[in-house]
Structures are given as C-alpha cells and as structure tokens.
Structure 1
Amino acid sequence: VHHCILLNAPLISILWHSSVIGVLDCGGVEFEDGEEVYDAIGGLLQGSSADCKNEDDIRDICQQMFNTLKLQLCSYVILLSTSSTLSSFTHTPPQTVDARKLEKAEAKLKQKQGRRNERDSQKTTNPLVLEEASASQASSKKDSRVDLSGKNRSYDIRIENFDVSFGERSLLQGAELSLSTGRRYGLIGRNGLGKTTLLKMLASRSLRVPAHITILHVEQEVAGDDTGALQSVLESDTVREGLLTEERLLNARIANGTAEGMETIRLSEIYAKLEEIEADKAPARASIILCGLGFSPKMQTQTTKEFSGGWRMRLALARALFAKPDLLLLDEPTNMLDVRAILWLENYLQTWQTTILVVSHDRNFLNAVVTDIIHLHSQRLESYRGDYENFVKTKEDRLKNQQREYEAQFQYREHIQVFIDRFRYNANRAAQVQSKLKLLEKLVNVRASVHRFPDNFEKLSPPVLQLDEVEFYYNTDQRLFTQLSVSADLESRICIVGENGAGKSTMLKLLMGELTPVNGIRHAHRNLKIGYFSQHHVDQLDLNVCSIELLLNKFPGRNEEEYRHQLGGYGITGELATRPVASLSGGQKSRVAFAQMTMPCPNFYILDEPTNHLDMETIEALAKALNKFKGGVVLVSHDERLIRMVCRELWVCEHGNVRRVEGGFDEYRDILQEQFRKEGYL
C-alpha cells in the first residue's frame, strides 16, 4: 500500500500505522471480499480509535477498503471520499496497537493465504472445473404421501414451481411442466437456455416424477463389449430378460429333479406372462428397429465393441425404442442419423403409445412427430398444442415484436461495448466499466444471428474444385469410390446425402485434399481458399480457454475488439465470450467454431453436418447467410429445412459413386419411402 496512497485526511490516522499497512500490503489484491479484510485488520482498527467501537462501522470501513483496493491496476491506489463514519478518526490520535491482536490478524491472514494457495495448486493440477446443474421444487407432504402409497397410478406428469440452475446461472425460475401420457412433446428454445439440462434433471429425478413412471434418457452411447448388437437391444427389456432367466433356472431344477411343487406353478405363471408380453416376437421387433436405424443383418450379429461411437449412439436409441419406457427423453436424436434413418424414425414415433419429450432443431422432424410444443424462454416454459408450424403461426406477432426489440437492443449493446472497450483499463472508470459489463450480461440476446459470410474476394474461373476418375479405399477389401467424377465452382450450392458409412465425409476430405486419391486427379484453383466445418467441430476447439483467447491463439496480432466483433456475429457476446469454451452449450460451441472458420475469409465452404446442436433460429440465419455468400458451398446435411433453403444440387453418395438427383430432396424422399414399404419397415 505504501507504493502509492492517495488519501483524504480522515483515514490517515488509521492507515499510518505500519502494522496495518503491513497487513494490507501483504494481503492486498489477494482479499476476496470485505469480510476477509475485516478478519485481517478489524481487531486492529477497533484498537486504533477510542471513538469507534461499533462493529458495524468497522465492517463498513473494511468493505470500503476492499472496494478501493480492487480499483488498483499497477500500484495500489486508494481513492475514498469523506464519510461521517470515518470522521471520528480526524480528531483522535492513533492508539497503541495490541501486539496480540496484530499477531492474531497476521496468523489469520497466513491461514487464508495457505488455503488459497492450496486451491490454486488444485486448479493447476486440474485447471478446468465445470459447473454442475441442480434443480429444486416446491413440494407438499400430501403429494409425497400419495406418491409413496402407490395410489396415484396416473402416467401424467405435472411438476409445479421448480427452479433449474447451472452453477450460479439460473435457467428456469418458478417454472411448470405438464406432460400428458401418450402425447409427444417437442422442447425448443435458443442454444444455452437449458433444454439439455432440463432433460437431465428429469432423467435423474432431481425433479420429482412419480416413482412408478419409468424414464429412459438417450444420452450416452452403449458400452463396447462382447455382447451382440441384437442381444444388446433385447437385454434392454429387463422384464422379459428377468422372466427368461427365471424360466431357465426353473427348467434346470425340474430336469435335475430338485424342483418343488410351487416352482412348477411359478413356471406356468412365467409362461403365461411371456405369452402376454409376446416375448417370442421380441427378436423380430428388435431386428426391425435396428434395420430402420441402419443396421444391416450382418451388423446386428457384430459385438458392440466393433462399432464406432456414432453407431453405439444408434444402439442406445434402438434400446430405448425397444424398451418402451413410460417417458422417453430424446436429445437431438437426428444428429446421429442420416436422412434415411430420420425418415424411418419419424414414421416409427408417429405410432408411439407412451410420452415423449424430445429436444430437436430439425423443423421437419418436429412437424412429423410432435403433438405439442414446449417453448423454453425467459426462464420459463410455455406449452402450445400442435406441431412446430402451428407454433410459428401462433408466435408470429410476438416474433415481429422480438425483431424490433432485437434491433433496438443490438444498437444499445454496441453502444455499451464501445464504452467498455474504450475504458476497460482505466482505473478511474473501473466502477463504470463493471456496471456496464453487468448490464450487458443482463441484456437478453433476443436472436442469435449469423452475419453475412465475408466475400470480398475475386471471382475464380470454373471449375475451381474437381475430382476426375478418382478411386479411393482405406484397404483393398473395402473400396469406397471407383471412377468418382464431380466438380464445383463459386456458384455451387451442393448438398450430399446418403447412408452413414457410404463415404460422404471421405469425399469431402478428398475435395479438400486431406486425402490423396489412389487413382485419378484432384484439381483445385490456385487461389481457392477453403473453410472447413467438421461434424466433430468441438474436437477442433481448445476447451480450456475462452472464445476470445481461442481466436487470439489461432489468429494472433489483432486487438480484442476485432475478436469480440467476430464472435458477436455468431451470437457469442458479452460474458459468453470470456467463459471457458468447455462451459458453453453444444450450440454455442458450434457458433464459436463458425466464428473461427470464417475469420480468414475463405471463398469456398465445405460443411460437414453444420446444423448439429444449432437451434432453429440459428439454422435459418445460417441458411440465409449461405444464400447471400458469393463463394461456393458443398455441404453434407440431414436437415431437410437447410437442404431445401440452400441447395441447388442434390448428390446421393452410394455404391462407390455419387449420382445427382434431378428432382431434388422431394424425389430422394419418395425413393426412401418406397424402399421402406418394400422392405416392410413401415
């Protein structure tokens, strides 16, 4: 503190004690709040003045000291105004400091610093500690008694007056959720508002769901072991598996002659129950589900450890569909599926008998499947009858108001951000900057926009990208492409569809030059600059830094305002830009990846499943931005809405080649539906 102390006279008599200065100088910027300052020097201050013995006054002084200490930048500068609380010290000479109190204060400070050093050491060992979600709700003894008694056998779910938070951030406050049995609900809302967290709270029963209602949340992939795919699905029906196990044990006892009379009766009951649940038809039903999700007969016999993560996620979905829980929770189920499997799942869920709550960004999937929409916004839930299109019509007027609100708010946010960037390192403006930052955090980002992709580049003569008679395989037993010939230019808007494993991502890597053809030629214009978005885009991000640092590390040499502006174009504004990337939602991570991809201003984009985790508003904004872009676009996508909005050419990847479908997505959809009918999946 002795480096630079600018004081009004009332405080001189307190701080001039070398003992107090020593403690402050030692603790200084390490104090976390006013209470720590009080613990360190409160006893000394009480002994410093005969006129100030009131504990509240001393605490008030310590809080002011803490506030002013935090305004320092390089030196410890203290700026305090005169207050009546401090005036008594101007006339009273300093008293002798109690040595025991000083010793006690210094011991407390050392103890606190020891604990802090220990925490810092733990942070160094494990630098990233993510926040956890929690839920709470009002409950009555009557509700608990009814639930425990088993008298309430309704399969409707009603959860009233509940809160959900993620760390210190409140996601839902005083919310209500009603799910009627047999209805199919689509949960929608912007990225980062808490849709996935709400599903997790329901699945873990952190929110109270009647005990007799079974819940399945398709969240984690199936473990890889020696269990066959078909058997893995059959084992998800625990009732059937339990009856079959008991049947085998009883038959063994009867064969050995050790069975008792009651066990013979029990065996008859088991046979009756197995017949009632149609246990003999279970393998055929499980096989149909697996076929619908893309598992060939050969794949159904493979062990789960032979499959990649994406296929194990499909297995998890198949197990949930086979088990038929009372409440099925699905989080972005179409992310792991190709167009063919999505169409099958739409048809399958339309006849689902129990309750579904699904988070999805796929507009067409929601229109095909759900009977109700639940809109999460402003920390509450609003329910609407009907599919997504009906919801849009109902909300049309409100959306117009939101647009006006967004435009006004965007200008206001820009004004605040300019002030923050200008005075961020000005100690005299520190309090105002903090106030503006808090205000910026509280402003609702009404719409997550995607600005125009930068396109200030020269036209390139076609073809700018071409594969000619390309042959490619990872091993000679599995030839992915033979005589593949495709081309694209800066006018191209090409969408590639096809079943998983057909080679879509491989073809993109051939186009980019990441893979070299075994035979044939790849030609690219010398001025071609490709921006690539991987379906595993999160793997490309450093999760331990904030978004600003991520861009700084990738594209050094620019000022913070440029990085913030780039991120702001994709809805990562204010406090979001300074949070660790690992703490962002899936959709927010996708936006950071878009900001990173577009910063070097490519003239050609290759996008592999770009809509995974994006909310519908951002997908719409992405489609509009791609349409305005003056460069070329090739994308792999299963999102029907994006395909219809953007693509002028549809390529189907199958049987070692690529063919163009002249009738676009409508023709491709009709082809798949006809295949389902022929194969008996519908």
Structure 2
Amino acid sequence: MAICGEYIRSQFPTIDDDLYQYVQGILDSSKDDFEDGDEVYEAIGQVLHEVEDKSENEVRQICVRLLEILKGNSNNDDDIDRRKNGVNKVLNAPVHLGSLAATLEAQVEQIKSIWVTTRDDVMKVDAKKLEKAEAKLQQKQEKRIVNEQGSASRINTANNAAESAASASQMTSKKDSRMETKGGVNKTQDIRIENFDVAYGDRVLLQAADLTLAFGRRYGLIGRNGLGKTTLLRMISSKQLRIPSHVRVLHVEQEVAGDDTSALESVLECDYERSTLLSQEAKLQAAIEKDGSKTGDALGEELARVYEAMQLAEVDKAPARASAILSGLGFSVEKQSWPTKAFSGGWRMRLALARALFSKPDLLLLDEPTNMLDIKAILWLEKYLQTWPKTLLVVSHDRKFLDTVPTDILYLRGQKIEPYRGNYEQFVKTKGERERNQQREYEAQQAKRAHVQEFIDRFRYNANRASSVQSKIKMLEKLPELKPMEKESEVTLNFPDVEPLSPPILQLNEVSYSYNGTDMVFSNVNLTASLQSRICIVGENGAGKTTLLKIITGALSPSRGTVHVHRNLKFGYFSQHHVDQLDMRVCPVELLQTHFPGKPIEEYRRMLGSFGISGNLALQVINSLSGGQKSRVAFALMCAAMPNFLVLDEPTNHLDIESIEALGKALNNCQAGVILVSHDERLIQMVCTELWVCGEGSVRCIEEGFDEYRRIIEKELEL
C-alpha cells in the first residue's frame, strides 16, 4: 500500500491528508474485491476529480494503474526489486495443496486445511468479507442510478421548508460534500425504513412497521382518521425517521410568508441554483465594468462558464415553467405579479404547493393537497402529477384523485403499513380478495382443527390408537395460529329527523351582490329549493360560492333582489372554518353542554354517537382529535339545534374516505334540504341532483350534471 500512496501523492500533490487517508482506506479494504479499473474508478474516481481538475480518461488511467499496483502486476523496477526481496513469491513447480495439507495434518494435529475439510467441521463465514461482498453487489445493482441533484441545494424541511432548504444549502461545505458523496457507494434514491415505531404522546400509532418508497413511484397514503398519516409525513420530513442524507425531501405543510415578493418571484426563488448563477452573473458583469481591461480576460472566461451553466440549467425557461404551474393552480397573469402579502391563507398554501412542484425534490410529501383547490385546479394537478419524475407520497381522501395519481397505495391499519400495487380502485379489489382468502383459510383451518380434535377425543383412551392420537396432537401443535379477518368498524353518520314544511321553502329572485357597490360578484340569480333539494354549487375559487351561501342563510344581504324563506325554516350552516372555531380545550361532551345546557350527559353522548364520536373519544380533549374527528364533532354541534335545511361549505376537507362515503349516504337519507359546496367528485355524484355553477358574474344550472361540467373544464385545460 505504500507504493499506492506514493503514486497517489505523485499524481495529486495537492491532496489533503483527510482525503488521502480516505482513498487509502478504500483501496486497502477493497483491494481483493476490485476486478477491473472501472470498479476502482467507481469507488474513488469522483474524489480524485475534486482534488484536481483532470479529465475522466486521465483519472481512469490512474485507477487502472492503482489496480495494477494492488494486484502486483506492475513491471516497474521497484516492483521487480520487491519480488526479488521476497515480497511476492513465485513457485518454481506446481504444488498439490490437498496432499500437502493432508500430510501436515497427519504430522501436526493443530493444522487444518480448507481443502481437506471433513463433514464434521463447522462451516464458518468471514463476516467482514461477507459484508464487503454484499456491499459490492449492492453497488453494482445500483450503478445505473445517477444522483441528479448536487449537494449545494439540499432541502431538509422540518417546519419551514424554504428556510430549512436555504440553511441546509449554506451549511454544506465542499469537503463534507465530497466525503458524503464518496463515503458510501450506495447513492440510490430509493427509501427503505424498517421496523420503526411512531407514537403520539402515550398512544402508539405504528409499531414494528416497514415503509419502502421506490424512486419514481407515486404513493397514496390512506387510512382512517387518527391513525397517524400526518404524523408519519412530519417525521419523514424532519428526518426523525432515517432517510438517506442525499435525498432531498420537501413537505408542503405551511403557507408561504406574506411580504412584498411577487407570487412569480416567490416560486422562482425556490431554484437555488438559478438564483446563485444569476447572482454570479451580476457580480461578474459589475466587476468587468469596474475593472475594465485589467482583468477582463479572466473575468470574461469565468462569465462564459457561468453562461454555460445557466444554459445547462435552463435558467431562461424557468419563468415560463413557474408561470405555467401558477396558472394551473388558479393564479391569473395579473395575480402572479401580486405581492404574497396580498393573498389569503388558502392562496398562500397554493403558493407553497407551486414552489414544491417547481423545485422538484427527490421526495415530495403532500397532505390533502386538494383541500385548498377548486375542481379546475384539482383536475390540472391530477394531470401534472401523472408525469411526476421523482418520488411522491400523498395523503388524500379524494377517491377520484387516488384513482388518477398514485401508482401504489399504502394502507395504514392495525399499526402497520400494508403496500398495494395500483390505484385506489385496484386496492379495493385486491384488499377484498386478500381478506376473503384470509377468512377462508382461517375457516378451513378451524374445520381441520375440529375434525382432528374430534378424533383425539374419541380415541384418547384407546391403547390401540395411542400412537395415532399422539401424532394428531403433535400435528395440532405445529399448525400455525391463524386469526379471523377483523373488519374495521363501519362509519355511520345520522342527521336528526325533522318535520316536513309545505313549499315554497326557499326562493332567490333576481339576486345580485357586489362589494362596495362596484365589484359585481354575480347578478340576476334565481334559485328555488325544497326539503327534497340536493343542490351542489361549484366554480373556481373567488367566483362567489361562499358569498351565495351567506346570502341564502341571511349572513349577507343581497345588493339587489329578494330572498324568500319559510318562517319555520332553520338553517344548519357548516363553514370551511367550522372546525377551527371549536373550543380545543374541552372535550366534545363539554362543548355541547356549553352550547346547549340543561340536557343529561347521555343525550350529549347520543348526539355525538350519531356522528361516530363515541366511547372515550367523547371525553378526549378536542385538540387531541384528528381533523376528521373534529369535523364530526362540528357536525354534531350543528345538528344539536335540529336544523331542517343544511348548508354545507366544503364539509369533506378533513374527512377520510369512509367518512365521506358515510356523509353521502346520510345526506341522501336525511329529511332536511341540502345545498352543498364541495370539490369532492365522489360526494357530488353520490348526493347532488342539481348542479349550479358560479362564474363569469352569474350562477347557471347545468342540467347534464357534474359529468358535463368536468368535460367543460377538461376542454379549457387543453386550451
């Protein structure tokens, strides 16, 4: 190894001691495993490139030379002298090693030979060599995977994705980058987390769970409310679960901070490589103008290299790409120039999503991305994510979204993560077949056990059958213990019964509304509803859907026109922010007691039980409940007043798939009238018989229903 060291020093005189020791260690530990110069280059080539600016062919030749030195195939004078001095011995005649070892074993009992090992010897494996061999095999398998991103723009998000990314980029030194890139041969973008636990307080959410995310696959993470989906995403993004350090992770969780930065520039800022190149270009241009011809040639060459890097990074195409993403998410050309502080919280969340899509991290984590979007933006996002080139892990309860985007489904149940290939529809089929097979297998085993046990009981005391009985007993003991299929409890929601009212119930005649008498939201709206109505209002965000609901319920007065309401009509209004307005410090029972005092505890628990909040859930602090469970508490609070007309504004935002299904069934069965604003296609098609579209200053009815509305939007997106 001394010759290797001298040769490395001669070829790379500027190499520092740490890198020199690192390269020496790689060569020393793997010298027996290298088969050709390419494998030596894979192990240390990139390190040598960073030490000095040499061409790839030069470094490859150096690696071939190092392999020759390691294998003793060098023809230089030093090597010849070493062989003469006895360092490398050459046999003068062939030797039969088996005979030699056998002779030595007969003479000296302590000497044993691997060539004459007998059957009684215990096979032993050199653990270190086995570990090296496995690492080498894994390196070959993953050789095709290329690290597409440099170490300068690592995004390591915990609470604030953008700030964490910037700090991670600044903290990564050049030397650390070299050592990290070359220290491990495994640069795969696949993620495998084995045998991990996740707990929230005293509650265990996942136990001995396994999670595998293959690069380039799109995973839909599903499961009942409260099982830990959001907690799992946060632990992955904060690196509390072991993720390879070279994998860039971005979790869209917090809205963009409001300042004077425009929406478009806010998205472009995510491209740290672009920002760095533009900054370098500006500095070089300023230096050239200042220094003139003194250093013009050197600065010009450096500026040319920056321009070449900008061309490779497609810096000139970045604004168009960012603008296209913003447009797809509902930002008009005018809004893209607005400062971020001019947007509401929901629009800032869209900005956060746009930044994530633009930066293209290795692993993108999305938690209910459709909650903040209207139907048009959801359809655009579905189409965009179908060609997502990296790894995607998304929590969603939108069945249409889960049928369109994911290539795999991860199902949380029983503190485990069950992987399924295919979209949600395929998952339902596969899961049903798996459960039926498991139940059939269990029932078959139980029948066999009963048959064998009957034989044992019948002939237990028969001496002639004693051996048969014993064999049957042993057979029962060896049978694996199968468990019956445990079906998840069905979610049921029940709205209270109400007394019928004679029509007309609700009428809007020539209703118009404008802000400050100038900005017209809609005009000449005519709407009639009864207790049998199942009306869904759709449209882009900002088109006036929520405004129309507030006019219906009386929270706002129309600018023109009239609203006629039955004198006994009582509205139950569920707003988008209903959940956030709950008192988080009390339990659900105490919440109902505060709003509707004087009833027995059993009555409050019955109200909550109608919406799936039963047992200990009714006594837990609301802040500790999941988003879906909080929504059910809000439903119970709304229905405690016994409304006979339900006005629901985005009621599915926090509900899981099973709860959305239950909500659809409950709305179909309830006796109250329903006007619904929702972007969940499944719920709309389950419930609504009338579709009203807000947009272009009016509210119009589409008789063909949601399918026709979807076709209209898809045509607009194609344009």
Alignment CA distance shift 1:550-1:398 (3 Å)? farther
Alignment CA distance shift 1:602-1:615 (3 Å)? same
Q: Is the 8 A contact 1:529 1:602 kept in 2?
A: yes
Cα distance per residue 1:209-251 (max 9 Å; x no partner): 1111111111010000000000001001111111111221122
Note the C-alpha offset of 1:450.
2.8
Distance 1:398 1:505 in 2: 44
1:657 alignment counterpart: 698
Amino acid in structure 2 at the alignment position of 1:240: R
1:162 alignment counterpart: 196
Amino acid in structure 2 at the alignment position of 1:341: A
2:392 alignment counterpart: 356
Alignment CA distance shift 1:600-1:400 (3 Å)? farther
Q: Is the 8 A contact 1:187 1:359 kept in 2?
A: yes
Q: Is the 8 A contact 1:325 1:354 kept in 2?
A: yes
1:231 alignment counterpart: 265
Cα distance per residue 1:175-216 (max 9 Å; x no partner): 111001110000000001100000000111111111111111
2:510 aligned to which of 441, 444, 469: 469
Distance 1:284 1:641 in 2: 34
1:496 alignment counterpart: 537
Distance 2:584 2:189 in 1: 41
**Structure 1 residue 379 and structure 2 residue 412: aligned?**
no
Distance 1:581 1:445 in 2: 27
Q: Is the 8 A contact 2:225 2:628 kept in 1?
A: yes
Note the C-alpha offset of 1:662.
1.3
Cα distance per residue 1:295-340 (max 9 Å; x no partner): 0110000000000001000000000000011100000000000000
- Secondary structure in structure 1 of the residue aligned to 2:305: helix
1:281 alignment counterpart: 317
2:334 alignment counterpart: 298
Q: Is the 8 A contact 1:469 1:484 kept in 2?
A: yes
**Structure 1 residue 171 and structure 2 residue 205: aligned?**
yes
1:152-551 matches, cutoff 5 A: 152-257=186-291, 263-396=299-432, 446-447=488-489, 449-455=491-497, 457-551=498-592
Distance 1:450 1:400 in 2: 23
Note the C-alpha offset of 1:530.
1.2
Identical positions, percent: 61
- Secondary structure in structure 2 of the residue aligned to 1:542: coil
Alignment CA distance shift 1:476-1:402 (3 Å)? farther
Distance 1:148 1:515 in 2: 65
Distance 1:450 1:653 in 2: 32
2:710 alignment counterpart: 669
Alignment CA distance shift 1:517-1:402 (3 Å)? farther
TM norm structure 2: 0.67
Cα distance per residue 1:496-551 (max 9 Å; x no partner): 10000000000000000111112211111011111111111123311111111001
Note the C-alpha offset of 1:573.
2.2
Amino acid in structure 2 at the alignment position of 1:446: E
Distance 1:587 1:206 in 2: 25
Alignment CA distance shift 1:223-1:323 (3 Å)? same
1:636 alignment counterpart: 677
Alignment CA distance shift 1:676-1:256 (3 Å)? same
Distance 2:649 2:435 in 1: 30
Amino acid in structure 2 at the alignment position of 1:288: A
Distance 1:539 1:402 in 2: 42
Alignment CA distance shift 1:506-1:241 (3 Å)? same
2:74 alignment counterpart: none
1:563-642 matches, cutoff 5 A: 563-642=604-683
Q: Is the 8 A contact 1:448 1:570 kept in 2?
A: no
Q: Is the 8 A contact 2:495 2:610 kept in 1?
A: no
Distance 2:314 2:260 in 1: 27
The size of the alignment, in residue pairs, is: 494
1:554-565 matches, cutoff 5 A: 554-565=595-606
Which consecutive unaligned segments of at least 5 residues does structure 1 have?
A: 1-131, 133-144, 404-443
Which consecutive unaligned segments of at least 5 residues does structure 2 have?
A: 1-158, 160-178, 440-485
**Larger radius of gyration, structure 1 or 2?**
2
RMSD of the alignment, in Å? Answer: 2.1
Alignment CA distance shift 1:402-1:345 (3 Å)? farther
- Secondary structure in structure 2 of the residue aligned to 1:297: coil
Note the C-alpha offset of 1:289.
0.5
Distance 1:502 1:402 in 2: 50
TM norm structure 1: 0.70
Alignment CA distance shift 1:448-1:589 (3 Å)? farther
Q: Is the 8 A contact 2:510 2:524 kept in 1?
A: yes
Distance 1:468 1:326 in 2: 54
Higher relative contact order (CA 8 A, sep 6+): 1
- Secondary structure in structure 2 of the residue aligned to 1:521: strand
Cα distance per residue 1:454-507 (max 9 Å; x no partner): 12x332122211111112122223111211111110110011100000000000
- Secondary structure in structure 2 of the residue aligned to 1:653: strand
- Secondary structure in structure 1 of the residue aligned to 2:633: helix
Amino acid in structure 2 at the alignment position of 1:279: V
Amino acid in structure 1 at the alignment position of 2:226: G
Distance 1:453 1:399 in 2: 32
Note the C-alpha offset of 1:402.
12
Distance 1:570 1:152 in 2: 50
Distance 2:539 2:489 in 1: 32
Distance 1:313 1:525 in 2: 40
Note the C-alpha offset of 1:568.
2.1
Note the C-alpha offset of 1:401.
11
- Secondary structure in structure 2 of the residue aligned to 1:540: coil
Between 527-536 and 261-270, report the one with greater CA deviation.
Answer: 261-270
Between 658-667 and 224-233, report the one with greater CA deviation.
Answer: 658-667
